[in-house]
Chains A and B, each alone.
Chain A
Amino acid sequence: MKASFFMFFNYLAMMGVPVLLVLLAISALVFPGSGIRTVLLILIAAGALVYGIIGIREAFVHGRRHNETAAR
């Protein structure tokens, strides 16, 4: 699949959501009972939603083209 405007957001979420998840774990360890996790969870939810929607487009819509082969 070609690099595109949409894929930029996919790559951003692909790397950003794991970073936010690790920050969530660190915040649970360092600041228990802090409100920072609400902010992190909102960002994680936004990233995961974008990632999921673009992922459906990439894997299940574009990936459905039966003539698409690895040789191309």
Chain B
Amino acid sequence: MSLRKKTRDLRGPQTRIARLASFHMEGFIHVLAYRIMVPLTILWSLLIIAYLLWPVLGGLVKIVTAAVWVLWTPQLFQVAKGLALAWSRGMAFGKLNEEFANLYRKRYGRKRGLYLALPFIVLAVWTAGFIVMIARWQP
């Protein structure tokens, strides 16, 4: 008879997001931005609808859009990173054992350069879009 051992994460519960800062700063920034952004996106969407009805709210829409744009950056970076990880079968941003990774390269022959660059390309397009939005969009 085997008793299932109850697992306990010594790093603490996931609700305490600050715990991430000590071992995964990138994850902490992402989670923090996400938690601020989630209620803000609801307000933002209601504000956009209000703006479409009363165009005087244009300035406020632009300010909130800029804030959401900035807060969405870590989220988008992580999404691009995750997709690069999946599409490269773990070769980019994965933590594969070197021996296993070597066999993988032999089997699938995937070059990981483009996958490694993907999150940064997305980030560059995103930043360029932000600059254009600030400079050219006059709601």
Contacts and interface: CB of A to CB of B under 8 A. Distances in A.
Q: Do A and B bind each other?
A: yes
B55 to A, nearest CB: 10
A11 B82 CA distance: 12
Given A24-B137, A69-B8, A48 B41 contact: yes
A42 B14 CA distance: 35
Interface residues of B, number: 39
B97 to A, nearest CB: 21
Contacts of A53: 42
B45 interface: yes
B35 A51 contact: no
Interface in A33-72: 37-38, 41-42, 44-49, 51-53, 55-56, 59-60, 63-72
A68 B8 CA distance: 9
Contact of A26 (B35, B41, B65, B132): B132
Interface residues of A, number: 39
B28 interface: no
Contact of B129 (A26, A32, A49, A71): A26
B49 interface: yes
B77 to A, nearest CB: 11
Contact of A18 (B46, B76, B139): B76
Interface of B: 7-9, 11, 13-15, 34-35, 37-42, 44-46, 48-49, 51-52, 65, 68-69, 72, 75-76, 79, 125-126, 129-130, 132-133, 136-139
11 contacts: A17-B72, A28-B133, A38-B52, A45-B46, A45-B49, A45-B52, A49-B42, A59-B38, A64-B15, A69-B7, A69-B13
Interface of A: 14-15, 17-18, 21-22, 24-26, 28-29, 32, 37-38, 41-42, 44-49, 51-53, 55-56, 59-60, 63-72
